[in-house]
Structure 1
Amino acid sequence: MSYSRFAIYYVPPVGPLADFGASWLGWDVLRGRETPQPDMSGLDDITMTPRKYGFHATLKPPFRLAVGQNVPALEAAASDLAVNLAPAICDGLELTTLGGFLALTPQGDMHAVRRVAGACVRELDLFRAPASEAELARRRKAGLSLPQEALLAQWGYPYVMEEFRFHMTLTARLPRDDIAVWSAAVRRHLPDLPSLFVLDQIALCGEREDGRFEVIHRYKLTG
């Protein structure tokens, strides 16, 4: 399989939460295949944007491989990183609204989660090709703060390190009047959420020729 971009994601382990995410979005990122969605009017439309990425939380945002790098070297580096990273534990997941879209987010102290995400961004950055001017311009349209602009310049993405917020996206941006309706719909389909959230693995994912991401390999955090 040939991939145009790569990313480091958290992808839930096989089980009820992963099954929910694949069904809700209509794409199983772990198995790289479409999944039938619940029969609800409008669900296909509101999940169209996050569908291509699958149910996940971004740790290192999508990037093109730098000149001189290759996939086996990236896989080896991701494996080495995981061996030296300790798992992160925080309070359980909950459904929240972030900037108009629905997502699952962990609660409580985020320090350990940010530690894992920061290491993924930092330690694998030699594999990232510099962002193009078009990519930088697209990011700047969001109206970045000075710290976000600095992060964009250094890491190719403005919402990393101190600006990072772990989230597992469930919808595109929703009209304000629709948020309560779709929140209720999500809650009807959600499995029981964990009382403790454990980030104990990372996944190297690739963007396929059809624009959708799939898991290439998972790595347990054993540091």
Structure 2
Amino acid sequence: MIRYAVYALPGALGATDAPEAVRLREAVEACYARAKFRDLTVDARRYGFHATLKAPFRLAEGRTEAELRQVADAFAAARRPVMIAAPRPATLGHFRALLPDGDQAGLDALAADAVREFDGFRAAPNEAEIRRRRPERLTPRQRELFEKWGYPFVFDEFRFHLTLTDPVPTERSDEVDAALEEHFAEVAGVDVPLQSIALFVEPEPGAPFEMHSVHPFAPAIAASEKSEAK
């Protein structure tokens, strides 16, 4: 059955996106393409370059893809661009990801709003989906969030990250970390505007996620416009 997800994807607007976002996306896609580490990016490549806002879900009964796109359009149009502050490769559990190094309040608010706004489209997880999440390994708070929102890492458990790898074995950590630091040297630490959200779709279980539609935010307000508005 088809699953959808709401992603933050720097560079999703292509040539009309911020150049910093386009460069970052190109750097990540080039990283995924490196043959030396393809065994460590199997899931990362299947889900695609992204930061999760609303985790993958099946459509609830009575909801349609057309409605989902309409809500995504309205959600995005009501927001302004938000900054991903100075993302750098870092360790997140056993994974490697690009993590912001600065104020994340705007990203946290975007993610929290997306969780709430799109929850009406989410079908309740079936038994297989519950088992796959391994609820016995979750903290009480994560279990509470999973049962209410279908995903344990939301709100106070959320941490914005752009995934780079699958779990990295300890014996390969130094090698991978050095390679990522070198690969991202030219783009790491540069503020990256996020100017849209994207809907992704998994056509069938286990298939790669594909970009389905991109939903731009309203244009940023220039400093001169802000002054005139006062």
**Matches for 1:1-223 after TM superposition, within 5 Å:** 4-13=2-11, 14=14, 15-25=22-32, 37-40=33-36, 43-141=37-135, 143-190=137-184, 191-193=186-188, 195-209=190-204, 211-222=207-218
Structure 2 Cα separation of the partners of residues 90 and 48 of structure 1: 25
Separation (CA, whole Å) in 2 of partners of 1:207 and 1:142? 26
Give the corresponding residue for 2:19: none
Per the alignment, residue 227 of structure 2 pairs with none
TM-score normalised by the chain length of structure 2: 0.84
Report how far residue 88 of structure 1 moved. 2.2
Deviation of 1:49 (Å): 1.8
Cα 1:203–1:138 change in 2 (3 A) is same
Displaced runs of 4+ in structure 1, greater than 4 A?
none
Structure 2 unaligned residues grouped into runs of 5+ = 15-21, 220-230
> Aligned-pair RMSD on alpha carbons?
1.8
User: How many angstroms does 1:159 deviate by?
Assistant: 0.4
The answer to which structure has the higher strand fraction is 1
Structure 1 residues 99, 135: closer, same or farther in 2, change over 3 A? same
Q: Cα offset for 1:139?
A: 1.6
Q: Secondary structure at the match of 2:2?
A: coil
Whichever of the two has the greater Rg, that structure is: 2
- In 2, the alpha carbon distance for the partners of 1:84 and 1:161 equals 20
> What is the CA-CA distance between 1:141 and the residue it aligns to?
4.5
1:142, 1:22 → 2: CA distance? 34
Please identify, of 88-97 and 156-165, the stretch whose mean Cα deviation from structure 2 is larger: 88-97
User: Contact 1:106/1:197 (CA < 8 Å) preserved in 2?
Assistant: no
Q: Distance in 1 between matches of 2:165 and 2:84?
A: 24
Percent of residue pairs bearing the same amino acid type: 37
Between structures 1 and 2, the one with greater helix share:
2
Report how many aligned residue pairs link the two structures: 208
